Structure 1
């Protein structure tokens, strides 16, 4: 899941942890840093890139208003230049969209499952973390695996430089500036120097790939060494991930999802719709795919039905814990990947129903489908090639109106049908 934009980790409403007392080593170090910075105030940013320098000059006042000391801002921004690699990655959109089944087959691999099952038993911190936060170790292993390959692939980009590049480009300026301010607050506090704050091109850091604001609000010092170290401390990284999920509403003892089977003629327009108990879904013929009864904690929970690969693929009831995972990364594919890995780490098998073989859709295909839906009276929103909730909703409505299985899955066949119908409608003169 290295493509993911981990900036979606931001948890709205989480308060930053209280500043340490003045007697703590971190606070004392912060004071020394501030004094040193004021003694050697650097010149303003002069990277030679006019757009970048103008943004940095304007941003300085906003950063100071947000609590960044002028000397700290000048010191850390001095000599900063935009990173062309970050700019290119941010503006790039995949030409082809991998079908979700292919993506998940690439996530839940035999090697990854074997590593996770070994780590299941040999991470000594898991019992304490599970007891404190209520998040099972298998789920934390799934997050750890997808975010950094169990800590082995963290990224080595300068977080401040990466975020400054994103801010100057302007597409996500407000978000990026907020993360820059969070980065500077970490440095200003003395908890970590800028050299430690390294990660992905999108600003995510450490073994659990936290963006800076999430680090401030959610990271914890599990190993008790006086600082929150999600880069080298396995205990801190995993406990921080557990804290994030707990704050996002993780329910102890409840499943994240369960694969289900539906009867012939099922109304797939109910997918991504109501959240109801398993008993409500049972009245519509929905049963667990493995034939087992519902656990007590699941039987009382409200779940949403999804068919991520359409009616021909595995179908799931998503419980509230799935949506807690989506607070970590707001992607159905990501949350399914974490959950299915967790199931395998726990000794469960793959989905009962196999993932179908599908043809990858090009960017042109996806945009064509969106334009066709809108032209036919089913608003798919901006034709950007991103098949999100709005596109799937419009597709379900079109499918239902045409007597098709309304599963909202954009296959190559659906693209062809939409293109042909839109072309015919355009070619037919109005009466």
Structure 2
């Protein structure tokens, strides 16, 4: 369970528009919230204690966890934070797939070779992917977060905006304390409740974490074997397909029909080959009934990727194409694969308000993209692609300057 999904990356009106990055629907605004005062918080905690008792959690655990629980204003600030400008995909990737992480990943691959080989045999997930997740989540355990998990979850549970979800996570955290004999003071992590080397939410911890060092406990903070074993089990349960990669960079032919791009347009490798899609060394894609989708993280001007079922599994860990690409790319680089063949373009940031305007315009023109929330998800990409096709524009589903201009002009025309 993770924090973040696709967030739009929008740029100033006079420059070329960028692509979306990540944020999670989990953290998107859902309902307006009232002010969370100390009095409201105190009453809410009392209600949660009652729910914990009903759930059969030991009274000593409830008291240890909640008797002195604190409202953390900073958590609410993080939760409310909606940046005006968001990173482009190239900026996101370059900060995460660094030479340091590649080198450290190779070091960790050797350090835990025996364990990782066992995990690959047992769960089917190759070692370099496990190390890649570990590196992206916590820099291989060097930064696991410093926020008090119980206080953070209680704060979010008592805030109206996503009370139901975080109340369940808090109750699950209490069950974990009871099951694993965890001390509240040890339970530090992200402001939203993610914990340990692999940044598991309590629900992921209790359902998927396993005892990798056979000491009778599951400790995702101090036991690297527990953390890596848990990651392998999690990915296995999410549906990882043994023997398959996440995807590959490809080369597209001239005059390629970009309306075929997008995660919602899966086709067999045989079909992609017939469309003229090649490997980056210009070799033929093997003809097969294996399905793949074509994604363009920076539009037609950037690299293109055919992604397979395991890419979707990575997105079930963190529902973001950008994150999934980073995991796959870092994993590849750790085992010595080269940099991507086509360079990522240098894209400026732009304000989220522009994407909201674009979404409103598309909806008004009959290209249904859902709620205008500034998040560049699959529905928005599909709507952009349909609009581009209607205007004989290059239909890559990417919001460049021509899309913003043409949508604005089309809306004005409908109002005349």
Tell me which residue corresponds to 2:274.
Answer: 283
C-alpha change, 1:233 and 1:75, in structure 2 (3 Å) is: closer
**What secondary structure is seen at the aligned counterpart in 2 of 1:371?**
helix
C-alpha change, 1:233 and 1:69, in structure 2 (3 Å) is: closer
How far the C-alpha of 1:65 sits from its partner, in A, is 3.1
Quick one: distance in 2 between partners of 1:50 and 1:394? 46
Does the aligned pair in 2 maintain the 1:9–1:327 contact within 8 Å?
Answer: no
Which of 76, 79, 85 pairs up with 1:96? 85
Tell me which residue corresponds to 2:232.
Answer: 242
* Aligned pairs (5 A) from 1:40-119: 49-119=38-108
C-alpha change, 1:118 and 1:189, in structure 2 (3 Å) is: closer
Which of 316, 319, 324 pairs up with 1:335? 324
How far the C-alpha of 1:3 sits from its partner, in A, is 7.2
Quick one: distance in 1 between partners of 2:284 and 2:76? 51
Quick one: distance in 1 between partners of 2:181 and 2:146? 19
How far the C-alpha of 1:70 sits from its partner, in A, is 4.5
**What secondary structure is seen at the aligned counterpart in 2 of 1:364?**
helix
Quick one: distance in 2 between partners of 1:344 and 1:131? 22
Task: Name which of structure 1's ranges 264-273 and 407-416 shifts more when overlaid on structure 2.
Answer: 407-416
Tell me which residue corresponds to 1:414.
Answer: 403
Tell me which residue corresponds to 2:265.
Answer: 274
How far the C-alpha of 1:199 sits from its partner, in A, is 0.5
Tell me which residue corresponds to 1:135.
Answer: 125
Q: Which string of whole-angstrom CA distances, capped at 9 and with x for unpartnered residues, describes residues 304-347 of structure 1?
A: 11112111111111111111111111111111000000111111
C-alpha change, 1:250 and 1:9, in structure 2 (3 Å) is: farther
Q: Which string of whole-angstrom CA distances, capped at 9 and with x for unpartnered residues, describes residues 111-167 of structure 1?
A: 221211222222242211211111111111110111001110100111111111111
C-alpha change, 1:137 and 1:292, in structure 2 (3 Å) is: farther
Q: Which string of whole-angstrom CA distances, capped at 9 and with x for unpartnered residues, describes residues 340-369 of structure 1?
A: 001111111111111112221211112111
Quick one: distance in 2 between partners of 1:418 and 1:106? 33
**What secondary structure is seen at the aligned counterpart in 2 of 1:317?**
strand
Quick one: distance in 1 between partners of 2:185 and 2:298? 43
Tell me which residue corresponds to 2:345.
Answer: 356
C-alpha change, 1:310 and 1:189, in structure 2 (3 Å) is: same
How many pairs were matched up? Answer: 388
**What secondary structure is seen at the aligned counterpart in 1 of 2:249?**
strand
Runs of at least 5 residues in structure 1 that lack an aligned partner in the other structure: 11-46
How far the C-alpha of 1:284 sits from its partner, in A, is 1.7
Quick one: distance in 1 between partners of 2:402 and 2:317? 33
C-alpha change, 1:48 and 1:276, in structure 2 (3 Å) is: closer
**What secondary structure is seen at the aligned counterpart in 2 of 1:304?**
strand
Which of 249, 265, 268 pairs up with 1:259? 249
Tell me which residue corresponds to 2:309.
Answer: 320
Tell me which residue corresponds to 2:19.
Answer: none
**TM-score, normalised via structure 1 length:** 0.84
Does the aligned pair in 2 maintain the 1:314–1:353 contact within 8 Å?
Answer: yes
Tell me which residue corresponds to 1:307.
Answer: 296
Quick one: distance in 2 between partners of 1:295 and 1:255? 14
How far the C-alpha of 1:418 sits from its partner, in A, is 2.6
How far the C-alpha of 1:87 sits from its partner, in A, is 0.3
* Larger of the two Rg values belongs to structure: 1
C-alpha change, 1:357 and 1:417, in structure 2 (3 Å) is: farther
Does the aligned pair in 2 maintain the 1:7–1:202 contact within 8 Å?
Answer: no
Quick one: distance in 1 between partners of 2:92 and 2:401? 17
**What secondary structure is seen at the aligned counterpart in 1 of 2:161?**
coil
Runs of at least 5 residues in structure 2 that lack an aligned partner in the other structure: 6-21, 27-35
Does the aligned pair in 2 maintain the 1:9–1:329 contact within 8 Å?
Answer: no
How far the C-alpha of 1:62 sits from its partner, in A, is 3.1
C-alpha change, 1:300 and 1:120, in structure 2 (3 Å) is: farther
Quick one: distance in 1 between partners of 2:59 and 2:286? 57
Quick one: distance in 2 between partners of 1:223 and 1:9? 35
How far the C-alpha of 1:7 sits from its partner, in A, is 11
RMSD of aligned C-alpha atoms?
2.4
Does the aligned pair in 2 maintain the 1:359–1:412 contact within 8 Å?
Answer: no
Tell me which residue corresponds to 1:381.
Answer: 370
Quick one: distance in 1 between partners of 2:173 and 2:286? 43
Quick one: distance in 1 between partners of 2:286 and 2:241? 14
Tell me which residue corresponds to 1:402.
Answer: 391
